[in-house]
Amino acid sequence: MEDSPSFSTKEIYWLASCFWGIITCKLFSIGYFLSDLAMVFWHFPALGGLEYVLHHGLSMFSISLSLMSSQGQIYILMVLISESTTPFVNIRWYLDVAGRKSSTIYIYNGIALFFGWLIARIFLFIYFFAHMFNHFDEVKKIFPLGFYSLLTVPPVLGLMNVVWFWKIVKGLIKTISKARH
């Protein structure tokens, strides 16, 4: 009979902290998406249209599946990293509402949003799909609903990210052009 691996107390605590860290991250994310979705509905369509409802709904669905099944963790965490661009989106909105579209901070925030989006939502999604393709033999082992969700939800979110990135690029070009004149 093969010996099962033995773990030290320190290793067990480390594994437990990683596990609970992932759970906490996902629960915090669901809470954020719910509160943001409530704001979108409350001020509909001023804070976002149906595309935001779709984005938040797909995100919460995917996180919930991962929480219930404990499968696809790396893919959920990769997609959640893309949400690191959200503060720049929110700052842009606040500066716009405050009438600061011609300010230097608005331009710097737009540049940060551009590079953040490029890295976290374009390059990371390219890596995501390459990773999924290279490890497809493992991806196929995910339970059926999780597997088919992994094949459909990320491409939809990725397409949305590309569309929004195009809007960011156009907006940045327009803002920088105005600043030069």
pLDDT tens, 134-149?
A: 999 999 999 999 999 9
pLDDT tens per residue across span 77-98 = 999 999 999 999 999 999 999 9
pLDDT at 7 over 80: no
* The model's pTM: 0.85
pLDDT at 18 over 90: no
Confidence tier at 22 by pLDDT (50, 70, 90): confident
- The dihedral through the CA atoms of 31, 125, 72, 74 has a sign that is negative
In contact, 53 and 34? CB cutoff 8 Å = no
Average pLDDT over residues 48-65: 94
What is the distance between the alpha carbons of residues 6 and 72, in angstroms, rounded to a whole number?
Answer: 26
Helix intervals (H) in 70-143 = 73-81, 86-97, 104-117, 124-134, 136-139
The reported pLDDT for the residue numbered 31 is: 92
Confidence tier at 75 by pLDDT (50, 70, 90): very high
pLDDT at 151 over 90: yes
